[in-house]
Structure 1
Amino acid sequence: ARRLAAAQSVFKSHEENLLPTVDSALAKESVKSIKQAFTEARAAIILFKSDASESDKLDAISVVKARGDQEALALLTSVGGDAPPLVAKAATGAISAIQSNLAMWSMVQNAWYGLSLGSVLLLAAIGLAITFGVMGVINMAHGEMVMLGAYTTFVVQEVIRTRYPALFDYSLLIAVPLAFLVAGAIGVLIERSIIRFLYGRPLETLLATWGLSLVLQQAVRTAFGPTNREVGNPSWMSGAFELGQITITYNRLWILCFTLAVFAILLAMLRYTALGLEMRAVTQNRRMAASMGIATSRVDALTFGLGSGIAGIAGVALSQIDNVSPNLGQSYIIDSFMVVVFGGVGNLWGTLVGAFTLGIANKFLEPVAGAVLGKIAILVLIILFIQKRPRGLFALKGRAVEA
């Protein structure tokens, strides 16, 4: 690490008197990556060495060009106008090539940020897609289920910190099932005590769940205080690595993998379990499902609990990248509804495509229009899209739906 840092320092300073030292280090170096760093440092010195030959400087430009990052671009930009014509021309060509390469990597970085944001939106919206699709309930307290999952993670980590510190790296693995159970149980309680009396009355449902969200926020403020709570990253979610010219953090990468795993498990559950079959039946035609002996009220309660439980495990993931506070859920509820409506109500594949489409579009618009105007542009585009396709990207089909 020290040798690599030394090579990078020389690359930036490119002091002529360090050339013999660099040559000596290069001759002794056996590690490939560090040897490349010393080769680049040597090229930087040669490029600015007054008595270096033209061919040596052209070779040095090729080495710096191959590096292709911002530091290489800055180095080539500082090549003076008094350089020989061939050297100046080669430097200009290298600058143009590096700028094109960096523009491409910038697009890749934005795409990665978009996938990362899309995975967060998908995790927050997937539970809402289930409850909204099966039950037609506009649940404004869905964000608070996410918040409860995040606070469950905080409690788990506090217990582990004080009593079992050696288990800290497993804290998230312990928190995931607990968050699912806590949020799912509260979801079932909400459905049995409030929602079931309001079916077919969307405005009253919206107002009741919005009031419930305020109650849950205040309950959490009373229990844990209004300030942000610290939730730590396990060692396997800390740090980052570089891929080409982009930086990928481990926590975002694990959240993406976790989201796709949750999505796959949920699809399998809907496809291969009795509850999944009943949920699909109720989604397509509630009256026919009831006439075939399906207890629709039980399906409603379990569906609401399942959607709330998934929101809870979304809170576990979001605790790693966002502040754990009573307002955590409010940051995602509107975006979650946009994802569900854009993708197609009740369609999980639509939710997947909608989440990643909106995430990537958001990250490509932000550098151009800014964060606020970017969100406004996304909202306007969704409104225009819904005018053309009121049922979203992937609309449910069937006689009951068409009716």
Structure 2
Amino acid sequence: MLASFLDVLFNGISTGSVLLIAALGLAIIFGLMGVINMAHGELMMLGAYTTFIVQNVCKELGGIWFESYIFFAIVTAFLLTAVFGLILEKGIIRYLYGRPLETLLATWGVSLILKQFVRSVNWVLFIGISLFCLLFFGGLWILNSRFNSHFNFIRFRSWVIGLLFSLSLAVSFTTANFFSQTYKLSVNQPWFGAQNVDVTAPTWLQEGLNFSELNIPVWLKEDWGLGTLYFPYTRIFIIFLTIVCVTGIYLFLQRSRWGLRIRAVTQNRDMSACLGIPTETVDGITFALGSGLAGIAGAAISLLGSVGPNTGQNYIIDTFMVVVVGGVGNFLGSIIAALGIGTANFLIASGTLTFLFAPIPPLVDFFKFFSTTSMAKVMVFGLIITFLQWKPTGIFAQKGRNVEL
């Protein structure tokens, strides 16, 4: 009885840890910037696929490279998704601040594009997209840095950008087609496809903590059943990774210069701009940081199961619930909500509550009806809705750019 309860509690905390990493990124983007990023789940998916690619590269190298690939994968996933988030903020989000509906629709469209990109990406598509981004965004940077204050450029800005877009698209398409014809690169051979791929954990994470081998009293092993407990090292690693991420984000926001600027812009954007804080740069760093945390969450998810184009969608709803229940923009509330929602899902879905309420038959039948993964989510959402009727602002009051509006 105790062993099964501790096992479910451990699994719930480890799942809640994944939700917490993702929720930290969403709390920064949604809570501090007021942006509803529907592509956050797909950023987690990109982090998971990045882990898969790094794993394959290190597996070819063998030895210590494979044993330590997870650390390279976490760093690479963070950097890749952070850069993508920065591009997303500079290219789309910065023009939609204060317009939540348009932001929601735009990021939802980006999520659909990313899912189809993963299903279809090949060498031809990769070359074309990379060259287009280099030409278009590089050209925009040059134009903005050299001619931004020039009267004629300001007057014909939209026409110049349209021409740059057309030229970049034409050059990219021509170059990709050239590589396809010259090097016989097939457009029908995607890197990943629609099927899921598996990530193999390093050898030192493939085992677990077996309580039967620990030096604990016999009565705990036999009478309380602790000898049957087995905690996989992968889930323990995810818990420690979450602790490191939470500590790092707290220190960054509270002790660093840019963290101070982020908090200042969050409290009063206009006053921060008057004091000389580059608010647009702060927006980009904030969005990049939140996106990078989603990539780390994706790397953690890859250790729990197979990775597919819809991986992020399995977590995004729970992640939004964590932010809302914890209090938008409040990190302590996000921690409590993530661990609570993750643990509640496992407790209900595993049927553990049916044993706890065994003396009360009506409650046993009630919890048995919800003892599946899908029905457990229904019950948890029902509890969240009930809780929000009591505390609409979540566990802690909302903090963000629009609180005073």
User: Is 1:308–2:291 an aligned residue pair?
Assistant: yes
What one-letter code is carried by the residue in structure 2 that aligns with 1:234? P
Q: How does 1:152-167 map to 2 (within 5 A)?
A: 152-167=50-65
Residue number in structure 2 paired with 1:377:
379
> Is the CA contact (8 Å cut-off) linking 2:328 and 2:400 kept in structure 1?
no
Residue number in structure 2 paired with 1:26:
none
**Higher RCO by CA contacts (8 Å cutoff, separation 6 or greater):** 2
Shift of residue 400, structure 1, vs aligned partner: 7.0
> Does 259-268 or 105-114 show the bigger shift?
105-114
CA distance in 2, matches of 1:316, 1:362: 22
Shift of residue 209, structure 1, vs aligned partner: 0.4
> Is the CA contact (8 Å cut-off) linking 1:168 and 1:234 kept in structure 2?
yes
Structure 1 runs of 4+ aligned residues shifted over 3 Å read: 163-166, 396-400
Shift of residue 187, structure 1, vs aligned partner: 0.2
Helix, strand or coil for the counterpart of 2:296? helix
CA distance in 2, matches of 1:193, 1:351: 29
Shift of residue 166, structure 1, vs aligned partner: 4.3
What one-letter code is carried by the residue in structure 2 that aligns with 1:377? M
Residue number in structure 1 paired with 2:140:
none
Cα-to-partner distance string for 1:203-258 (whole Å, 9 max, x where unaligned)? 11111101100101111111221111221110111112233242211100110111
Cα-to-partner distance string for 1:76-111 (whole Å, 9 max, x where unaligned)? xxxxxxxxxxxxxxxxxxxxxxxxxxx222222221
What one-letter code is carried by the residue in structure 2 that aligns with 1:268? L
Helix, strand or coil for the counterpart of 2:329? coil
What one-letter code is carried by the residue in structure 2 that aligns with 1:144? E
> Is the CA contact (8 Å cut-off) linking 2:269 and 2:401 kept in structure 1?
no
Residue number in structure 1 paired with 2:394:
392
> Is the CA contact (8 Å cut-off) linking 1:285 and 1:400 kept in structure 2?
no
Helix, strand or coil for the counterpart of 1:385? helix
Unaligned runs of 5+ in 2: 122-191, 212-225, 352-366
* Match of residue 271, structure 1, among 254, 260, 264: 254
Residue number in structure 2 paired with 1:352:
335
* Match of residue 347, structure 2, among 335, 350, 364: 364
What one-letter code is carried by the residue in structure 2 that aligns with 1:231? V
**TM-score normalised to structure 2 length:** 0.71
Equivalenced residue count is 301
Shift of residue 323, structure 1, vs aligned partner: 1.4
CA distance in 2, matches of 1:357, 1:197: 36
Q: How does 1:168-317 map to 2 (within 5 A)?
A: 168-223=66-121, 224-243=192-211, 244=226, 245-317=228-300
Shift of residue 361, structure 1, vs aligned partner: 1.6
What one-letter code is carried by the residue in structure 1 that aligns with 2:313? Q
Shift of residue 365, structure 1, vs aligned partner: 1.7
CA distance in 1, matches of 2:48, 2:314: 13
In structure 2, relative to structure 1, the CA distance for the partners of 1:399 and 1:206 (3 Å cut) is: closer
Cα-to-partner distance string for 1:129-157 (whole Å, 9 max, x where unaligned)? 11011111000000111111111111111
Question: How much is the aligned-residue C-alpha RMSD, in angstroms?
Answer: 1.7
> Is the CA contact (8 Å cut-off) linking 1:285 and 1:401 kept in structure 2?
no
User: Is 1:110–2:8 an aligned residue pair?
Assistant: yes
Helix, strand or coil for the counterpart of 1:332? helix
Cα-to-partner distance string for 1:256-303 (whole Å, 9 max, x where unaligned)? 111111111110111100111111112222222222222211111110
Shift of residue 316, structure 1, vs aligned partner: 1.1
Residue number in structure 1 paired with 2:167:
none
Residue number in structure 2 paired with 1:9:
none
> Is the CA contact (8 Å cut-off) linking 2:32 and 2:399 kept in structure 1?
no
CA distance in 2, matches of 1:201, 1:176: 33
CA distance in 1, matches of 2:8, 2:298: 24
CA distance in 1, matches of 2:341, 2:39: 22
Residue number in structure 1 paired with 2:308:
325
Unaligned runs of 5+ in 1: 1-102
Helix, strand or coil for the counterpart of 1:280? helix
CA distance in 2, matches of 1:399, 1:159: 43
CA distance in 2, matches of 1:399, 1:319: 34
CA distance in 1, matches of 2:268, 2:390: 25
Helix, strand or coil for the counterpart of 1:401? coil
> Does 153-162 or 325-334 show the bigger shift?
153-162
Helix, strand or coil for the counterpart of 1:231? coil
In structure 2, relative to structure 1, the CA distance for the partners of 1:282 and 1:154 (3 Å cut) is: same
